[in-house]
Amino acid sequence: MVEKKSRATQADVARLAGVSQATVSYVLNKSAVSVPEETRQRIHMAMEELGYVPNSSARSLRTRKTHTIAAVIPDIANPFFPVFTRSIQDVADQYGYDLIVYNTDHLEGRERKFLDSLRQGRVDGAIVVPYHVHAKDLAPLLHMDLSVVVLGKMPTHVDDMPLDSLYVNNADAAAAAVTHLVQRGHTRVGMLAALPDNQPGYGRLKGYRRALSAAGLPFDEAIVRHGLFTQEDGYQCMRELLQAQPRPSAVFAANDLMAMGALKAIREAGLTVPQDIALVGFDNIPAGDLISPRLTTITQFQDRLGRRAAEMLFERLNGTAPEIGRTQTMPFELIVREST
């Protein structure tokens, strides 16, 4: 019978590295206590030689931390979010944290279900991209001392608890996109808008209307269609817009997936972009630079958004954030390509 090899412990690592067990703990838990780099390397070499794997459950019991964070996002299939989430993961890796991703499919019930799951103590903090829930819905998380960062504009205090948020000003970005079309000579600009309860979409519709007003152009509900942020809904909404009389000479889509669906509908109607209908999207997903014609769009720099959201979360977790909540506005840029 082969004797089962016992699992290496912190004490084993300490003996082999010639340091105290406390020093090993400082290194493993990324403590603020200063440990010389040569000592750190010795500890890591001892861990590798012994095949030591930290016991995350035991560590959680000692520190009352899970060393896990969550990202609650609306649609992992939307190419915007893999880049955003990957940047969060990169920062989490730097801090030795795991990342759980919850996909809500834009459904309010799933958003609330996942917030309830977070309240069960499975994570130390969360980055939330809300489409339906509001600041008051996040209050129970804050009262449990969970750190929360929201992608979207939120009040900095909820029930006297700090809430951090960052956002791109959707109204300003949408206004820039529509103003670009107006400057190209278009006076009848339609929009593929989000559903009314979609928070980012509301800002983009607001910016669309603001840009028309600034140009002295009327808002016409007959050339606005509402749908999900999907290629399928963009396609269906564009088919409806093509029936408008007179039809729009340009269309602003609330995201790139809707714009790609619109492009398909325009082609099926025997029309061309931008000769017959100019088209602008929003998000700057990679596929927008690969289709023909290449899509004019708004970039939100989703890699920067993900990284900064994670940095704000870990500043809160590490106690280096200010006591009051923070709201940070992030940059956007109009990317002009062939579709306009």
Instruction: Tell me, yes or no, whether 340 lies in a domain.
Output: no
Q: Which ranges constitute the DSSP H helices of the chain?
A: 10-17, 21-28, 37-50, 56-63, 80-94, 108-118, 135-143, 170-183, 199-214, 231-241, 256-268, 302-317
Structure tokens belonging to residue 218: 């009327």
For the chain, the domain total comes to: 3
What 113-120 contacts at long range (C-beta under 8 Å, 24+ apart), as own/partner pairs, is 114/70, 114/72, 115/72, 115/140, 115/141, 118/70, 118/72, 118/146, 119/144, 119/146
Answer whether 71's CB lies under 8 Å from 90's CB: no
User: Residue 202: inside a domain, yes or no?
Assistant: yes
- Are 94 and 80 part of one and the same domain? yes
Would residue 219 count as lying in a domain?
A: yes
Range of the domain at 25: 10-54
Determine the 3-state secondary structure of 185 from DSSP.
coil
Can you give the pTM of this predicted structure? 0.78
268 lies in the same domain as 323: no
- Based on the fold, state whether residues 81 and 113 are members of the same structural domain: yes
Question: How would you write the pLDDT of the chain (340 residues) with one tens digit per residue?
Answer: 444 456 778 888 889 999 887 788 778 766 556 788 899 889 889 888 888 776 554 454 444 578 999 999 998 888 999 999 999 999 999 999 999 999 999 888 999 999 888 888 789 999 999 888 888 889 888 888 889 999 988 887 787 789 999 999 999 999 999 999 999 999 999 999 999 888 889 999 999 999 999 999 999 999 999 999 999 999 999 999 999 999 999 999 999 999 999 999 999 999 999 999 999 999 999 999 999 999 999 999 999 999 999 999 999 999 999 988 999 999 999 999 999 9
Q: Are residues 240 and 261 in the same domain?
A: yes
Is 260 in the same domain as 209?
yes
- Same domain for 132 and 153, yes or no, is yes
**Is the same domain home to 183 and 275?**
yes
Same domain, 192 and 259: yes
> What is the chain's alpha carbon radius of gyration, rounded to the nearest angstrom?
25
- Domain annotation covers residue 338: no
Within this chain, do residues 71 and 119 fall inside the same structural domain, yes or no?
yes
Residue 5 lies in a domain: no
Confirm whether 4 is domain-assigned: no
Separation CA 24–CA 2 (nearest Å)? 31
Assess if residue 60 is contained within a domain.
Answer: no
Which CATH number covers residue 50? 1.10.260.40
Indicate which CATH number applies to the domain containing 322: 3.40.50.2300
